[in-house]
Amino acid sequence: MPWRLKSTDASFAPDFQNFLNIKREAQTDVEAMVTKIVEDIRARGDQALIEYTSTFDRFDLTAETIRISVDEIAAAYKTCGPEQLGALQLAVARIHSFHEKQIPENISYEDQDSVKLGLKWGAVNSVGMYVPGGLTSYPSSVLMNAIPAKVAGVKRLVMVVPTPEGEINPLVLAAANIADVDEIYRIGGAQAIAALAFGTKSINPVDKIVGPGNAYVATAKRQVFGVVGIDMIAGPSEILVVADGQNNPSWIATDLLSQAEHDTSAQAILITDDEDFAEAVVQAVDIYLQKLARNEIARQSWQDFGAVITVENLNDAVPLIDVIAPEHLELAIAAPEEMADNISNAGAIFLGRHTPEALGDYIGGPNHVLPTGRSARFSSGLGVLDFMKRTTLLGVTEHSIQAIGPAAVTLAEAEGLEAHALSIAIRLADSDNETDGG
């Protein structure tokens, strides 16, 4: 059974804290092994990639076959059905349209002291995108990572995807083709992250790495950060549904299971003000668990980490939501926009009874790469800005340095940085001499 909490219980506060503190990810000590792999790739490049691919993916590579060819991509595309390709095209159009609206504007102005100030945006030059591989990999993740990069103006987008025993989901290659990915390599794991960061003879290094992966991939991303940028370290999926008693229990049950089926460490939470409805949802979950292909995964997730929280008033849900800071938040209530306005911490919010989170995973438009593990308290989902950099501009004239320079000299001297102060003061002195006709 999932956790059952009631806000009216005297023990609610400590019980809720205990629920927040449960560990959903097994602590796997892979640091030493990842360090070895990363250093090996850095030292031996392609040869090390080939050896690790043979060991971990049971697939023999050569330097000539590391890259997936244009012909292979075209062949994979042809094996996809027209309905699947049509769905991908619709998803691309909607995701592209939403992200296009995120492109920031440059700033340029002159202030009252005739100082020119500005800010200009530019894209990261090259990005590596990690895609989990095999036949169960997700083409939707390709679109969610690739499209904002291309909208931002990334010139070189590289995809790495492991092909265990040579297998790959053809729809993944089709998605990469539709999303204008520039290069695709059949490598995975920590070795792929290292190859993207440091480069090999066959793979030029990139400037930033994005995309989810297992513990080895996440650890490798941490280790190469600083050499390259990274997006985030993704944890198990999460959903929190706020629902009143006017909902169909089956709808809410399937919404909860849509995330529970991802991983045994995923988490699904229901907050409601109706005890009878809560019980109906729990019963509906049990029914659907018997039907799902991934029922063992979903069942363990629900039993170990799921929760049903009953509150007196749905407004009481807001502070709980902000503490949980869920990756996905569904507001299946009469006035979802009103509640959404009062929520500070959520990766993505889904408004109303007819907006299941799963719609956002594929076709809604906003990105499905979102902060997990309560990190929505301080971070955001993937977007165009993650693939852009901003550069500030400052232009001072002979007149304006007289206006603001003395204060800068004062601050530099206060910090004991003599050359800082001198580099400004010398210009002020020369400017004074020119004014005096000296």
Query: Would you say 177 and 199 are in contact if contact means Cβ atoms under 8 Å apart?
Result: no
> Using N-to-C axis directions, what is the helix angle for 70-79 and 170-178, rounded to 10°?
110
Supply the residues annotated as catalytic. Answer: 327-328
Query: How far from each other are the two terminal CA atoms of the chain, in whole angstroms?
Result: 88
Residue given tokens 């408004």 in the structure block: 351
Q: Cα(203)–Cα(194) distance, rounded to whole angstroms?
A: 11
